[in-house]
């Protein structure tokens, strides 16, 4: 169990978080053309009141800072109404700087770009690419910045769950306190469920009580068509065999009258709720978007598979602010309907089911 600290309450996140990577050069050929303020306003109005980004997702922080200063946001939402999460340490595809000096500078740079006086969460970005000592030292710097009031919560992010668990244990040992949150990507998907099977219980043993599940579509792999490409080209690590199997599965689903992206997102959202209940943790899903259509489709899927916490009723339309933040139960009727389809997809994936994207 994580240590209790009445002066530092546990981080509370909504079940769905807006992923700022959709406003990056990695994901979009020209992110400066995106209507970011309009997208954020729609997401906020639907109850998606948290944003995750990183300096590495350039120019996401710049675009978000401008959008969050737009009157269509500021006239309806105060800074305290939403959560801003960003990262430190990753500079480019192959460059990292986890030095204490840069960690501090990076946080101050993000504060300036995002036009805010504090950050709700800061993660050390992709800790698997540096030594454990460097990662733990950087976390210590973030703890210092937390005490100084620049940030509220400290976390780490990355792909290999074994590395995340090891760093989480080391942080707890060195500083006598656990990480506030851990984020991983593409590890709780229709193709890979390792976060549920291993990651969440192992992180719980390290005192972590909040987990962010990013990339429920495996960074755009689990959908019809090709993976998204931005200015940096095709960076996706999935090998051709996995891509081919996904394409076959997508075609099979279309013959059943369903889309792969919707099924994969419903699967991931339901798994997050089930895992949170089973292990007494909070599990939030980070969804990257780059259009109003993305937001609308994600909201529709969430309302299909999730139910209201209080009334237990399926919400097809919610006009109340914060509506999606109330959806914390699984709609078992939809879950059962999807079960056959999920089995079918995983059978088609065959040897690629549970494949590690960083092999």
Catalytic site positions:
57
Sign of CA dihedral 156, 158, 164, 170: negative
Q: Is 234 exposed, middle or buried (0-12, 13-18, 19+ CB in 10 A)?
A: exposed
Cβ proximity of 215 and 186 under 8 Å: yes
Sign of CA dihedral 106, 111, 112, 113: positive
Q: Please provide residue 109's backbone torsions phi and psi, each rounded to the nearest 5 degrees.
A: -65, -40
Tokens standing for residue 112:
């300036």
Parallel, antiparallel, or unpaired for β 16-19 and 50-52?
parallel
Angle at 65 between CA 82 and CA 153, to 5 degrees: 45
Q: Where are the alpha helices (DSSP H) in 197-310?
A: 200-205, 240-256, 260-279, 292-305
Residue entry with tokens 């970011």:
36
Asked, as a colleague might, if the bond just before 104 is cis with ω within 30 of 0, I would say: no
End-to-end C-alpha distance for the chain, whole angstroms: 32
Cβ proximity of 251 and 344 under 8 Å: no
- Name residues whose C-beta falls within 8 Å of residue 276's C-beta, 6 or more positions apart in sequence: 282, 283
HSE toward the beta carbon, residue 202, CA cutoff 13 A: 17
Q: From the centroid of its chain, how far is CA 180?
A: 15
Of 275, 322, 278, 272, the residue nearest 299 (C-alpha): 322
Cβ proximity of 190 and 342 under 8 Å: yes
């Amino acid at each position: 169990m994580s240590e209790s600290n009445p002066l530092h309450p546990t981080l509370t996140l909504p079940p769905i978080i807006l992923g700022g990577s959709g406003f990056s050069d990695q994901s979009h050929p020209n992110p400066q053309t995106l209507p970011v303020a309009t997208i954020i306003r729609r997401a906020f109005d639907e109850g998606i009141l948290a944003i995750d980004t990183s300096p590495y997702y350039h120019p996401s922080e710049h675009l978000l800072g401008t959008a969050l200063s737009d009157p269509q946001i500021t006239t309806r939402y105060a800074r305290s109404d939403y959560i801003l999460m960003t990262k430190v340490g990753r500079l480019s595809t192959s460059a990292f700087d986890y030095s204490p000096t840069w960690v501090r500078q990076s946080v101050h740079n993000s504060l300036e770009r995002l036009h805010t006086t504090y950050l709700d969460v800061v993660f050390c970005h992709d800790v698997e690419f540096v030594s454990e000592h460097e990662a733990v030292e950087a976390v210590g710097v973030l703890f210092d910045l937390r005490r100084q009031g620049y940030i509220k919560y400290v976390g780490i992010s990355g792909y290999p769950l074994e590395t995340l668990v090891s760093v989480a244990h080391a942080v707890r040992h060195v500083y006598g306190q656990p990480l506030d949150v851990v984020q991983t990507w593409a590890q709780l998907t229709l193709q890979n469920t390792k976060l549920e099977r291993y990651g969440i219980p192992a992180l719980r043993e390290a005192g972590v009580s909040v987990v962010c599940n990013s990339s429920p579509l495996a960074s755009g792999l689990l959908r019809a068509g090709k993976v998204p490409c931005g200015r940096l080209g095709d960076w996706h690590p999935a090998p051709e065999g996995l891509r081919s199997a996904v394409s076959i599965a997508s075609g099979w689903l279309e013959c059943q009258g369903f889309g792969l992206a919707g099924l994969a997102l419903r699967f991931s959202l339901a798994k997050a709720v089930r895992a949170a209940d089973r292990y007494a943790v909070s599990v939030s899903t980070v969804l990257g978007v780059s259009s109003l259509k993305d937001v609308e489709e994600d909201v529709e899927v969430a309302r299909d598979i999730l139910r209201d916490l209080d009334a237990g009723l399926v919400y097809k339309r919610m006009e109340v602010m914060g509506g999606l933040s109330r959806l914390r139960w699984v709609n078992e009727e939809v879950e059962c309907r999807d079960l056959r389809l999920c089995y079918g997809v995983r059978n088609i994936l065959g040897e690629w089911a549970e494949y590690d994207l960083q092999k």
